């Protein structure tokens, strides 16, 4: 087990460096492109006249900082489990849990999906809050899945399926904006949609295979390593797609 933990420690150190370096580079080479978060208030009785002037640009979100931030968040949590909380992390892995992963995902993946929504043109603050809430709920159901299912006991799948249900909600909204009447999205947006949708679902597949004990996934540590690499590749893919299509000078 000591050798296994040593390998995990090394992977977390590598992940820390790779996330951190990419975040810094993104900030250094990006422009100041930003997207608006908006509010819209009724100016008359519902279903009556609408005054588009009531659409308010509440604040702007820097795409460079958003992309760098989810990289920095991952770097921070990988650093924490590789240093000050290493013993706690290894103790949790030994009982097939990792609360650090779920806390980090609840923040970083939510920031990722919100950034994607802004790129798609979903800027209403209430809509963004709803999408963020659905994404956080998905992650928390994943955490519950680990907490309630103990090694050697029958698997209770309800948290997993509930997580899948709430997790699809943000993507339904994105599909509406991507393929709805009058939609004229640039080609790179389709690339972001397909690639990140695949990555998000691979996380769910990884947990499914863990609890089905399929092949190498019978070892919880193997699934932990898959989570680590999926997180790195998914965040890197989104950050560099954002840079290449909106942030390059």
Domains recognised in the chain with CATH numbers? 2-33+59-247 (1.20.1070.10)
H or E element, residue 42? none
Q: What is the mean pLDDT of residues 198-224?
A: 96
Q: What pLDDT sits at residue 128?
A: 96
Q: What is the pLDDT of residue 188?
A: 87
Name the pTM for this structure. Answer: 0.91
Give CA–CA dist 160/204, Å, rounded.
Answer: 8
Identify the CA nearest to 51 among candidates 41, 59, 62: 41
- What are φ and ψ of residue 122, in 5° steps? -85, 100
Q: Tokens standing for 125?
A: 């603050």
Specify whether the CB–CB gap between 114 and 187 falls below 8 A.
Answer: no
Reported as a single tens digit per residue, the pLDDT across 26-85 is 999 989 999 999 988 766 666 666 666 677 888 999 999 999 999 999 999 999 999 999
**pLDDT digit string, tens, across residues 101-134:** 999 999 999 999 999 999 999 999 999 999 999 9
What is the distance of C-alpha 167 from the center of its chain?
11
């Amino acid at each position: 087990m000591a050798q296994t933990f040593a390998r995990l420690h090394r992977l977390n150190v590598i992940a820390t460096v790779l996330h951190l370096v990419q975040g810094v580079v993104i900030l250094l080479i990006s422009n100041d492109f930003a997207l608006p978060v908006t509010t819209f208030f009724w100016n008359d009785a519902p279903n009556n006249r609408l005054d588009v002037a009531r659409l308010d640009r509440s604040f702007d979100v820097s795409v460079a900082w958003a992309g760098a931030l989810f990289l920095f968040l991952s770097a921070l949590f990988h650093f924490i489990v590789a240093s000050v909380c290493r013993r706690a992390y290894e103790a949790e892995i030994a009982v097939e849990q990792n609360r650090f992963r779920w806390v980090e995902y609840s923040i970083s993946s939510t920031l990722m999906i919100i950034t994607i929504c802004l790129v798609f043109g979903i800027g209403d603050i209430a809509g963004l809050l709803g999408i963020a809430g659905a994404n956080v709920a998905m992650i928390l159901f994943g955490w519950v899945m680990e907490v309630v299912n103990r090694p050697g006991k029958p698997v209770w799948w309800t948290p997993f399926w509930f997580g899948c249900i709430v997790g699809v909600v943000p993507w339904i909204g994105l599909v509406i904006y991507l393929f709805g009447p009058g939609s004229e999205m640039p080609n790179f947006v389709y690339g972001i949609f397909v690639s990140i949708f695949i990555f998000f679902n691979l996380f769910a597949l990884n947990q499914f295979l863990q609890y089905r004990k399929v092949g190498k996934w019978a070892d919880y540590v193997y699934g932990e390593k898959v989570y680590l690499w999926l997180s790195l590749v998914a965040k890197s893919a989104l950050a560099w797609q954002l840079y290449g299509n909106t942030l390059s000078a």
